[in-house]
Amino acid sequence: MFGAPIRRKEDPRLVTGGGKFLDDLGRGALAAAFVRSPHAHAKIVDIDVTDALDVDGLVAIYTHEDLPGRVGEPLPLLIPHPTLTHGRTQHALAKDEVNHVGEPVVMVVARDRYLAEDACARIRVDYEALPPVVGIEAARAADLLVHDDVPGNIAAHMLQEVGDVEAALANAPHVLELDLAIERSACMPMEGKGVYARWDADREELRIYSSTQTSTGVRAAVAAKLGMPLAKVECIAPDVGGGFGVKINHPWPEEVLVPWVAKTLGVEVKWVEDRREHFISSAHERGQLQQVRVGFDDDGRLLGLDVKFWHDNGAYTPYGIIVPIITSTQLLGPYKPGTYRCEFWSLYTNTVLVTPYRGAGRPQGCFAMERTMDAIADELGLDRAEVRSRNFIQPSEMPFDHGLLFQDGRPLKYDSGDFPASLDKLKALVGWDDFAEYRDRARVEGRKVGLGIGCYVEGTGVGPYEGGHIQIETSGRVNVSTGLTSQGQGHETAFAQVVAQELGVPIEDVFVTTGDTRRMPYAVGTFASRAAVMSGNAIALAARNVRAKALRIAADALEVAADDLEIVDGIIRVKGAPDTQMSLGTVSVMSNPLRYAFDEAAKAATQFAGSNDPDKPPVADDDEPGLEGRDFYSPTQATFANGMHAAIVETDPVTAEINILRYCVIHDCGTMINPMIVEGQVHGGVAQGVGGALYERMVYDESGQLLNASFMDFLMPYASEIPHIETDHLETPSPLNPLGIKGAGEAGCIPVSAVIASAISDAEGFAITSMPISPVELWELRQRHASG
Ligand code: MCN
């Protein structure tokens, strides 16, 4: 049950084609398609739709001018921040100007998608091309501006400092400087975005299905944009084929426009994103240039860390600057920096906008910190693991307050963790102490092998809240709902495990619903590795309330004290006298004044509390009817998971091909609900990390065209590129929440670029400072280092 590595309940359905994804719905709906900007930066001079009007099956064409009221206003800026002095969001359809290739300009609705695309192809948009800003260097130079009214292309400039870093660097026995870079990549879920909306004219109700990570957010945003009462708008996330961050942006332009058209025309409309649209009009992440100055003593202990970085936020900032703030606050990982200053600039470029992608700014921060740790070890000739361990925050120092502000504006305070124990486990797993001998032997054989390491700490389970609703049917089966959505994380299983444990019912009798605003209207969403902490605890609290009520009713009926009762396999029984018992279903009937139960439980209930007996009212005065309850969990701060990875990598001496021979993970996400799910999450994260380290990048040309906007050219690793991942766990429970849980969903991907860079550096004998790295780039680096 809780803590057991049981197989996921949802998998038989999902792996045998039984999933119901967005495009499985609304088969007869009209289709929407979009004319998107071919320019990275341009003024819209004229839009001529005349030729498209002849297309058979065309229903409607809309430009920005056609959008009424709030539908035509810029989309919301979700996370403002005091340092975000120049936040900008896009219009659902571009007004006057486009700022990246792929920005939606015209919406077409037709009988089917083919006809809609035909009509799109006949629409002429005249643009006056403007010079684009492409890449961080161009944005920094600021010779050209993305938004005329944003000087220096700077959306935000932020600085946090703890202690006097300049003084620490001035007095440090050793100071090193590093220039580092991470390129853009993207989430690339198997299922792209999509939205399907239908209007019920009689009831004046709008139902939206969206492949989203935040159904309550979509509902609220659409209701506000369309000026509708919330009560008349529902949003349901069906099965979602991956999100990884990109499906949070409530609302995306299409998520406003499709429901608006459904309501305006009184029809059903659907839009399903194709892969090219996903590349050029969803979101990217990762791109940063970093400069590090670090001061340390002869033992490798940090005295001062000064980090500056420039973050590419693309053309708009719907998410504010959440990604660079996360980089700046979680860069420190498990270490005490002595003194720390971090300053960043979040810069506009004429490229696809940037929103959180699994890891959300942490892979970049981890790269900066871990490359720095390796540089210190190399400088002093010390063991790389030893340098790390000398700088660890110790378990005795927990909770540890860094003196910085976390992204939620609260103090950056680690709740728990045992970094020395994690490192010991990692070293044992990978065989750290024996590796030098293996590497030297391999070198004699003409082989290049290297061992890399990377450590991270990850703030997870952020608030503000999440809820859980539990209802025990008269049959004894348990319905559970929580408002956040699922994209493949195994929530149906994990939350059922929580409830089975708390209520003492068989897991087969627990049914979990997520992401349906009809079932749970209050929710925030699935991101920031928060579902297990937030909904897991909310559901546990709700289950505890329902259990207490069930025991109270049963105690009364059985004429014993509630404390003398236990629940085993859905049966409430007297401890030590198990024959005195009644089922949870029976109690459910007893708590239901209408007694609508057509099963055994009803008969049993009548036996205990005859429905016609006025002396035994089914519901106590202070009880609500039904065996059900709702509760919410709202944490005081994030809980901090951590992990350490090591990889052994071999590079071909001739071709510079890079092979990962072993990949080892120690992971600590507090108490685990289901270790098999956690391991699956870690494996998926590592796989995405390997993509980011060795294969995936967004290649823009100078004019802002994305040159590799298809899976022919953007390389995602197959299973054949992913090494066997050896995983072991440490469970340091969080003291902050009742279940002791920390999040696990993003962890796997955070240190991978740092670890692989560390291993390649070890194999090659020179430092890798930019990721991803291809064999060609490694080969060129070799030539450069060989020629001095
Ligand atoms: N879990 C557990 N014990 C813990 C922590 C987590 O058993 N101590 C389980 C949870 O119950 C849940 C899973 O592990 O089933 C992940 O939990 P959590 O860390 O809370 O993460 P979320 O469920 O909030 O998922 C979000 C996270 C993020 S932020 C991204 S991005 C991501 C990820 O999950 N996107 C994913 N994993 C993904 N996995 C799939 N298949 N698809 C995505 O889009």
Assess whether pLDDT exceeds 80 at residue 614: no
Q: How confident is the model at residue 733 (pLDDT cuts 50, 70, 90)?
A: very high
477 has a pLDDT exceeding 80: yes
Domain termination residue (choose one: 601, 633, 665) = 633
Question: How much distance in Å is there from the Cα of 365 to the middle of ligand 1?
Answer: 21
Mean pLDDT, rounded, for 664-682 = 98
Domain housing 486: 466-633
Single out the residue of 226, 198, 376 nearest to residue 296, CA to CA: 376
Together in a domain, 640 and 624: no
CA 354 from centre of chain: 14
Instruction: Check pocket membership of 214 for ligand 1, CB cut-off 6 A.
Output: no
Residue 787 is predicted with a pLDDT of: 86
- Predicted pLDDT at 610: 46
In short, whether 746's Cβ falls inside 6 Å of ligand 1 is yes
pLDDT band for 421, please (50, 70, 90 cuts): very high
Question: Among 255, 272, 289, where does a domain finish?
Answer: 272
Q: Which pLDDT does position 589 carry in this prediction?
A: 84
How confident is the model over 265-316, as pLDDT tens digits? 999 999 999 999 999 999 999 999 999 999 999 999 999 999 999 999 999 9
pLDDT of residue 618: 53
Residue 579 lies in a domain: yes
Is 681 within 8 Å of 729 (Cβ atoms)? no
Confidence check: pLDDT of 465 > 60: yes
**Of ligand 1's atoms, which has the minimum distance to the CA of residue 675?**
7
Q: Are residues 102 and 118 in the same domain?
A: yes
- 745 C-alpha to ligand 1 centroid (Å): 3
Q: Which ligand 1 atom sits nearest the alpha carbon of residue 245? A: 31
**Both 694 and 747 in a single domain?**
yes
The closest alpha carbon to 449, from 651, 658, 724, 723, belongs to 651
Element (H, E) at 109: strand 104-110
Ligand 1 centroid to residue 489 C-alpha, Å: 5
User: Per the domain annotation, does 511 fall within a domain?
Assistant: yes
Residue 172 lies in a domain: no
pLDDT at residue number 600: 66
Kindly report, residue by residue over 232-241, the tens digit of the pLDDT: 999 999 999 9
State the complex-level ipTM.
0.99
Say whether pLDDT at 595 is over 80: no
Q: Residue 293's pLDDT is what?
A: 98
User: What's 31's domain CATH number?
Assistant: 3.90.1170.50
Substitution site in 286, 322, 489 for ligand 1 pocket (most atoms within 8 Å of beta carbon): 489
Phi-psi bin for 432: left (phi > 0), alpha (psi -120 to 50), beta?
alpha
**Residue 329 placed within a domain:** no
Are 616 and 664 in the same domain? no
pLDDT score recorded for residue 620? 57
Distance 537 CA to ligand 1 centre (A): 14
Phi/psi region, residue 612 (left: phi>0; alpha: psi -120 to 50; beta: rest), is alpha
CB of residue 673 inside a 6 A radius of ligand 1: yes
Average pLDDT over residues 353-369: 97
Is 292 among the domain residues? no
Ligand 1 close to Cβ of residue 640 (< 6 A): no
Q: Dihedral, CA atoms, 279, 280, 282, 284, nearest 10 degrees?
A: 70
The CATH number covering residue 735 comes to 3.30.365.10
Average pLDDT over the chain, rounded to whole? 95
What's the rounded Cα separation, in Å, for the pair 241 and 489?
A: 10
pLDDT at 657: 97
Cα–ligand 1 centroid distance for 646 (angstroms): 22
Provide mean pLDDT across the span 600-614.
Answer: 57
Q: What count of other Cβ atoms lies within 10 Å of the Cβ of residue 150?
A: 17
Q: pLDDT value at position 28?
A: 94
How many Å lie between the centroid of ligand 1 and the Cα of residue 317? 25
> Do residues 392 and 490 both lie within one domain?
no
Q: Is 539 in the pocket of ligand 1 (CB under 6 A)?
A: no
Last residue in a domain, options 587, 612, 633: 633
- H-type alpha helices, 717-787: 752-764, 775-786
CA-CA distance, 329 to 505, in Å (whole number)? 42
> Whose CA is closest to atom 21 on ligand 1?
529
Residue 604 — pLDDT band, cuts 50, 70, 90? low
**One-letter amino acid identity for 412?**
L
| 611 — pLDDT class (breaks 50, 70, 90) | very low
In three state form, how does the secondary structure of 34-91 look?
EEECCCCCEEEEEEECHHHHHCCCEEEEECHHHCCHHHHCECCCCCCCCCCCCCCCCE
Tell me, yes or no, whether 544 lies in a domain.
yes
Residue nearest to atom 4 of ligand 1 (CA): 672
Closest ligand 1 atom to residue 358 Cα is 31
The verdict on residue 317 lying in a domain is no
What is the Cα–Cα distance from 773 to 696, expressed in whole angstroms?
A: 9
Is the domain of 659 the same as that of 531?
Answer: no
User: Is the pLDDT confidence value at 612 over 50?
Assistant: no
Task: Please give the single-letter amino acid code of residue 268.
Answer: E
Q: Which atom from ligand 1 is nearest to the alpha carbon of 495?
A: 11
Q: What is the pLDDT, as a whole number, of residue 176?
A: 98
Residues 745, 685 share a domain? yes
Write out the two tokens for 757.
Answer: 């860079």
Cα–Cα distance measured from residue 324 to residue 362, given in angstroms and rounded to the nearest whole number: 9
Do residues 428 and 474 share a domain? no
Residue 592 has pLDDT above 80, yes or no: no
- Whether the CB-CB separation of 718 and 618 falls below 8 Å is answered with no
CA 556, distance to chain mean position in Å, is 46
Helix, coil or strand: residue 720: helix
Name, in order, each residue with C-beta under 8 angstroms of 176's C-beta and a sequence gap of 6 or more.
Answer: 292, 293, 294, 296, 372, 375, 376, 379
Distance 498 CA to ligand 1 centre (A): 15
Please give the distance, rounded to the nearest whole angstrom, from the Cα atom of residue 206 to the centre of ligand 1: 30
Is there a domain that residue 578 lies in?
Answer: yes
Q: Which residue minimizes the CA distance to atom 41 of ligand 1?
A: 488
Average pLDDT over residues 156-164: 97
Span from the CA of 461 to the centroid of ligand 1 (angstroms): 10
Are 491 and 604 found together in one domain? yes
pLDDT band at 250 (very low <50, low <70, confident <90, very high): confident
Q: What percent of the chain has pLDDT over 70?
A: 96
Query: For the residues of 455-503, what is the DSSP string, one character each?
Result: EEEEEES--S-EEEEEEE-TTS-EEEEESS--SSS-HHHHHHHHHHHHH
pLDDT classification of 608: cutoffs 50, 70, 90: low
Report the residue among 282, 681, 731 best suited for mutation to probe ligand 1: largest number of ligand atoms under 8 A from its CB.
681
Supply the DSSP symbol for 333: T
Same domain, 593 and 665: no
Bridge partners for 126 per DSSP: 46
Whether 362 and 432 map to the same domain: the answer is yes
| Number of domains forming the structure of the chain | 3
State the distance from the centre of ligand 1 to the C-alpha of 209, rounded, in angstroms.
22
Asked if 581 and 644 sit in the same domain, the reply is no
Query: Predicted confidence band at 623 (pLDDT cuts at 50, 70, 90)?
Result: confident
Q: What is the pLDDT of residue 221?
A: 96
The predicted model gives 641-665 an average pLDDT of: 98
Find out whether 697 and 777 touch, Cβ atoms under 8 Å: no
669 lines ligand 1 (CB under 6 A): yes
